């Protein structure tokens, strides 16, 4: 026993440790032999873990952990919660951050209308800055590297004639930072995304009526200068009808081929089944014992869209008009309700049916999902639409304007719809593309929307939902802690990011937040001086996190463990001084 370390009963010692800060617990373990004697006691560390982190005892230990001691140390030592650098090169609100797949570079977008490229070395430094004002942009809002990091997609708000604003996408070469192409993007919050190394998806919006429109999603070649009779530079992917002032926004692509080798499994029963054949990471799930607890709010509805059918559109329209003229249709029908009803009847037999068997069964499937926000009741995005992209659609070769459709198939239907019952303000995919994380602000439980131009009030508390794209079901309880305050009509996107073990999000309460995906607990709050708009984990080092804020700064956060390693790599000044003195003497 160490001198000065009194002998205490294990139970008393344990109770002391329960009320110590976890940093003190670990430091005590370095100096006290008595603590070392019980440091590997699984019962003690299990109790300490559940009490300190307030984890439900129904949640099992992370299967990737060797012991409860290691798991306690992981949550203490590997959370990127230590601020190591503040980047202040932007002079206006910083809206978005994105890493290259290699983790060597990242890009930032800002209200100052620049996109900046940063080098992620021991100390992060600015490598390049592109000003988009010469192209009539108001600001840059989103960026994404293609799969081989050779190109950067940058999305921004474009000011057109008569000060009308829509979006535009620019493609920048990472070899020499030259602008390769520009593509119109409407509305601007479609953002855009890469489908593969050389093709990107953009949007366009066509008004049909006051609250009825159609969204067209286009596949564009990144190299718009290509001229060939066999290669198109643009091809229509989908044309989708919008009702009640809704539009398609926030497009992203999920790769189904990654599903059978997930980084982590969120469903505990599935993890148990998989563990008999191969080691996996489990994120826990609810147990039967939770049935006795107060029931959470109802899960967002996930629905499969029915095939088109029923009464032919022409007959339906005629019946509607006859009913109005004969007084059979209630006279209280407003102009908005009438427009929606006519649009629904018109599109019924002019829509291509959904793809059968949406869920992939082939482990080597090359199928991809196009995921986007949409709606059916009001203009605020409250649904997630999912559309399968088939292999033959992943190139601009072939018919340009969808000539392969029959003349009576005017619109494409959605293959799947997830109803969130709230205003969606952020989405992000897990690294394996198995899980979709969604930030939303809930509507009142029993609200009724009578006017699509007046959506319900939204909650200040943000719910972070998790959906399994393999089963199309919600898993886990919604994560909570972060808040937002802007009203519905001013609500803006708050970007989130997901790593192997953690999920992070910005918030309007001047903090970024980090949760553990397995235990569903909030682990850290990261301070800023204003709204935190975006967060980004390094794809190769989840102990490095970036946060971007309206306070014009980008903050760099590393874990305590990474800080120790980083400091060990730095040359010691004393050794350098000694070498200099030797050189002076010689």
Q: What percent of the chain has pLDDT over 90?
A: 50
Statement: residue 448 has pLDDT above 60: yes
* 430 and 506, same domain (yes or no): yes
State how far the Cα of 231 lies from the Cα of 226, in Å rounded to an integer.
Answer: 8
Q: What is the model's pLDDT at position 224?
A: 74
* 103 and 72, same domain (yes or no): no
* 37 and 167, same domain (yes or no): no
* 206 and 236, same domain (yes or no): yes
Query: Which carries the bigger pLDDT value, residue 517 or residue 297?
Result: 517
Segment 230-257 shows an average pLDDT of 88
Last residue of a domain, one of 60, 78, 96: 78
Query: Which carries the bigger pLDDT value, residue 543 or residue 52?
Result: 543
Two tokens, residue 381: 């995005």
Q: What is the model's pLDDT at position 174?
A: 97
Predicted confidence (pLDDT) per residue in 23-48, tens digit: 555 555 544 555 555 556 788 888 88
Statement: residue 272 has pLDDT above 70: no
* 59 and 95, same domain (yes or no): no
Domain assignment present for residue 57? The answer is yes
Q: Which domain holds residue 542?
A: 82-261+365-400+409-567
Query: Which carries the bigger pLDDT value, residue 170 or residue 361?
Result: 170
Statement: residue 74 has pLDDT above 70: yes
Predicted confidence (pLDDT) per residue in 50-62, tens digit: 888 888 888 888 8
State how far the Cα of 310 lies from the Cα of 124, in Å rounded to an integer.
Answer: 61
Instruction: Single out the residue of 193, 256, 197 nearest to residue 432, CA to CA.
Output: 256
The dihedral through the CA atoms of 271, 275, 280, 283 has a sign that is positive
Q: What is the model's pLDDT at position 279?
A: 34
Where is average pLDDT lowest: 285-294, 329-338, 466-475? Answer: 285-294
* 141 and 159, same domain (yes or no): yes
Domain assignment present for residue 315? The answer is no
State how far the Cα of 179 lies from the Cα of 159, in Å rounded to an integer.
Answer: 19
Where is average pLDDT lowest: 79-88, 305-314, 507-516? Answer: 305-314
Statement: residue 506 has pLDDT above 90: yes
* 33 and 111, same domain (yes or no): no
Domain assignment present for residue 272? The answer is no
Instruction: Single out the residue of 535, 502, 541, 547 nearest to residue 520, CA to CA.
Output: 502
Q: What is the model's pLDDT at position 271?
A: 52
Statement: residue 405 has pLDDT above 50: no
Segment 514-538 shows an average pLDDT of 96
Q: What is the model's pLDDT at position 276?
A: 43
Name the phi and psi angles at 268, rounded to 5.
-65, -40
Segment 285-296 shows an average pLDDT of 37
Where is average pLDDT lowest: 139-143, 151-155, 553-557, 575-579? Answer: 575-579
Q: What is the model's pLDDT at position 403?
A: 45
Statement: residue 264 has pLDDT above 60: yes
Are the C-beta atoms of 424 and 492 separated by less than 8 Å? Answer: no
Longest CA–CA span in the chain (Å) reads 109
Where is average pLDDT lowest: 9-13, 74-78, 391-395? Answer: 9-13
Predicted confidence (pLDDT) per residue in 300-331, tens digit: 454 444 444 444 545 555 565 556 555 555 55
Segment 337-363 shows an average pLDDT of 64
List, in order, residues 6 or more apart from 366 with CB less than 8 Å away: 256, 257, 391
Q: What is the model's pLDDT at position 355?
A: 65
DSSP 8-state assignment for residue 353: P
Statement: residue 390 has pLDDT above 70: yes
Segment 98-127 shows an average pLDDT of 96
Domain assignment present for residue 576? The answer is no
Q: Structurally, how many domains does the chain consist of?
A: 2
């Amino acid at each position: 026993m160490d001198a000065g370390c009194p002998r205490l009963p294990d139970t008393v010692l344990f109770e002391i440790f329960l009320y110590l800060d976890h940093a003190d617990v670990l430091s005590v373990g370095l100096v006290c032999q008595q603590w070392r004697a019980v440091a590997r006691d699984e019962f003690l560390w299990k109790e300490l873990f559940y009490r300190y982190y307030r984890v439900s005892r129904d949640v099992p230990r992370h299967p990737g952990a060797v012991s409860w001691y290691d798991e306690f140390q992981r949550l203490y030592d590997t959370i990127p919660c230590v601020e190591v650098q503040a980047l202040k090169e932007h002079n206006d609100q910083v809206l978005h951050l994105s890493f290259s797949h290699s983790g060597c570079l990242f890009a930032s977008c800002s209200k100052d209308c620049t996109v900046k490229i940063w080098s992620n070395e021991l100390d992060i430094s600015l490598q390049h800055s592109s000003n988009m004002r010469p192209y009539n942009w108001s600001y840059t809002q989103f960026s994404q590297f293609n799969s081989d990091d050779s190109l950067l997609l940058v999305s921004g708000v474009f000011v057109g004639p008569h000060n009308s604003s829509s979006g535009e996408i620019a493609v920048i070469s990472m070899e020499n930072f030259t602008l390769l192409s520009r593509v119109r993007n409407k509305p601007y919050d479609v953002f855009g995304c890469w489908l593969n190394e050389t093709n990107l998806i953009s949007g366009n919006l066509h008004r049909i009526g006051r609250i009825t429109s159609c969204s067209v999603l286009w596949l564009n070649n990144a190299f718009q200068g290509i001229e060939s009779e066999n290669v198109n530079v643009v091809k229509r992917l989908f044309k989708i009808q919008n009702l009640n002032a809704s539009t398609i926004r926030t497009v992203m692509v999920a790769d189904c081929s990654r599903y059978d080798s997930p980084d982590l499994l969120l469903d505990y029963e599935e993890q148990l089944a998989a563990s008999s054949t191969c080691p996996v990471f489990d994120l826990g799930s609810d147990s039967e014992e939770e049935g006795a607890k107060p029931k959470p709010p109802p899960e967002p509805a996930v629905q499969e869209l029915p095939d088109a059918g029923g009464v032919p559109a022409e007959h339906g329209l005629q019946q509607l008009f006859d009913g109005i003229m004969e007084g059979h249709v209630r006279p209280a029908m407003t102009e908005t309700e009438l427009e929606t009803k006519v649009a629904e009847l018109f599109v019924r037999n002019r829509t291509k049916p959904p793809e059968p068997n949406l869920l992939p069964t082939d482990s080597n499937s090359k199928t991809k999902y196009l995921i986007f926000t949409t709606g059916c009741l009001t203009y605020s995005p409250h649904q997630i639409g999912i559309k399968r992209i088939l292999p033959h659609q992943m190139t601009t070769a072939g018919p340009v304007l969808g000539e392969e459709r029959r003349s009576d198939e005017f619109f494409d239907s959605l293959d799947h719809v997830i109803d969130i019952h709230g205003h969606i303000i952020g989405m992000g995919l897990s690294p394996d593309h198995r899980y979709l994380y969604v930030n939303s602000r809930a509507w009142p439980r029993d609200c009724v929307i009578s006017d699509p131009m007046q959506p319900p009030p939204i909650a200040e508390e943000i719910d972070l939902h998790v959906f399994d794209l393999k089963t199309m079901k919600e898993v886990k309880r919604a994560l909570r802690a972060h808040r937002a305050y802007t009203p519905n009509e001013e609500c803006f996107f708050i970007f989130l990011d997901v790593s192997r073990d953690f999920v992070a999000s910005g918030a309007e309460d001047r903090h970024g937040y980090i949760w553990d995906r397995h235990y569903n607990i909030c682990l850290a709050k990261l301070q800023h001086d204003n709204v935190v708009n975006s967060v980004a984990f390094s794809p190769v080092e989840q102990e490095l996190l970036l946060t971007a804020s309206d306070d014009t700064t980008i903050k760099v956060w590393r874990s305590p463990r990474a800080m120790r390693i980083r400091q060990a790599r730095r040359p010691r000044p004393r050794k350098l001084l000694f070498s200099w003195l030797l050189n002076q003497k010689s």
